[in-house]
């Protein structure tokens, strides 16, 4: 997944990353198993640990924007401000035959999330107006 323009602070959602639940005779599941770096993703206060394996689990301050794959197969995440770099998301797709539960297939996969720099125009925040009094300097 190559990203050149994603607004930081706004959740990103990419539906249809994986197809799950399309066959009534099988049970599909997807589970995130790891993330190579959380530096690209938004950190903040969270009531519960994020879903990925190594994203600050057990702490209240953590990676609240870490990538996740939802039950319907959508990839979701929230980038940090000015994020640039690569993070590898590891996940496992599992399919179990409902009629023959011993028929189980688990497929470990990886997805590189590449965030490219964005050329932004310069900006500045100016302080309030200055009042000059003759002979006294700035007031």
Instruction: Give per-residue pLDDT as tens, 84-100.
Output: 889 999 999 888 888 88
Q: Which pLDDT tens digit goes with each residue over 121-138?
A: 666 666 666 565 666 555
Q: 87 burial class (0-12, 13-18, 19+ CB within 10 angstroms)? A: buried
What is the SS3 assignment for 130? coil
Residue 112 has pLDDT above 70, yes or no: yes
Q: How many CA atoms lie within 13 A of 127 on its CB side?
A: 2
Q: For residues 56 and 64, is the Cβ–Cβ distance under 8 A?
A: no
Q: What is the pLDDT of residues 50-87, one digit of tens each?
A: 555 555 455 466 777 889 888 888 888 888 877 888 99
Pick left, alpha or beta for residue 16 (phi over 0 → left; psi -120 to 50 → alpha; otherwise beta): left
Under 8 Å between Cβ of 43 and 80: yes
Strands 104-115 and 2-3: parallel
């Amino acid at each position: 997944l190559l990203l050149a323009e994603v607004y930081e602070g706004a959740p990103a959602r990419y539906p249809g990353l994986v197809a799950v639940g399309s066959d009534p005779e099988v049970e599909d599941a997807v589970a995130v198993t790891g993330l190579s770096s959380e530096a690209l993703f938004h950190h903040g206060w969270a009531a519960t640990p994020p879903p990925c394996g190594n994203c600050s689990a057990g702490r209240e301050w953590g990676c609240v924007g870490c990538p996740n794959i939802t039950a319907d197969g959508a990839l979701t995440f929230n980038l940090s401000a000015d994020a640039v770099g690569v993070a590898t998301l590891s996940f496992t797709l599992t399919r179990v035959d409902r009629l023959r539960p011993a028929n189980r297939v688990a497929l470990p996969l990886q997805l590189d999330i590449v965030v490219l720099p964005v050329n932004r125009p310069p900006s500045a925040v100016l302080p309030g107006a200055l009042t000059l009094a003759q002979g006294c300097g700035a007031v």
